Amino acid sequence: MIDGLLNINKPPGITSFQVVALVRRLSGERRVGHAGTLDPDASGVLPLALGQGTRVIAFLTEAHKTYWAQVELGSATDTYDASGRVISSGDASAITQQQVAEAVALFRGPISQTPPPYSALKHRGQPLYRLARAGVEVRPKPRQVHIFRLDLTAYHHPLLTIEVECSKGTYIRSLAHDLGERLGCGAHLKKLVRLQSGPFHIDDAVALASLEEYFARGDWLHLLHPIDVAVAHLPTVTVNEEKERELRNGRPWPLEGLEEGRLYRAYSKGGQLIALIRFNTAKRQWQPEKVFSRCLGPL
């Protein structure tokens, strides 16, 4: 039984699920999941959760993401990236860096974004990419996302590069497509690298080839990050042995001195993560929301 988080540097050319399947096979741990899909052509940080780590995936999924992206002006594709079919073309030769910078600036902050028609989002139970390949046209509904930072780092016609820090649910493919529409010449995403996902950075990510070598040598466990990393932003509380027993059995209890409505990490006196707890206003009690059945070491 293995509990923890892995920071994987996914190479282009494979799906996020294939990475999960590989780690599941190599580790022998059945419960393995990823925190935020990367497109097959994209590379970079792909956090994986093993064992009880899968119980905190939601916190990693909700975290901010940072990307490096290369966008090609002059053609739009049906998938919004380089793998798709060109559906329109435009002359981008006269577009200046100033015009690109002004267009980029319009996408900072909260924006309404329409996901690509080729995506894993579902419509009536079917992934959009499957419907699109079958010729069924479904226009995804726009949704609110937040671009916290968007920097134009280079422009050499027809390629521009940007660095994006954004909220959960942001599609960089859609951002590239929308930039092309704003500039009037069409555009698509040529290359994408996820630099950071929550607490995990690409500088510390392990390449798949290296990961397989670690498994072959039997010394891969040191690559595991503790589960606490995913919830390090939450405040903590330490409980005595009596409260620890109650928590492990999923029982609520009255506890003073904590902020109501906020989620807390509850630790034993020995520094083991026991549960995530929240105050139940109606019952005036602290309620365990996630209880970890095995002792988890401190952050």
CA distance readout (Å), 178 to 78, 114, 156, 216: 13, 9, 19, 45
Measured distance CA(249)–CA(152) in Å, rounded? 52
Q: Which residues 6+ apart lie within 8 Å of 155 measured at CB?
A: 97, 100, 161
Which positions are annotated as active-site residues? 39
Cβ distance 155 to 33 under 8 Å? no
Measured distance CA(161)–CA(183) in Å, rounded? 15
- Token code pair at residue 279: 């105050």
Measured distance CA(240)–CA(26) in Å, rounded? 38
Strands 273-280 and 143-156, how do they pair? unpaired
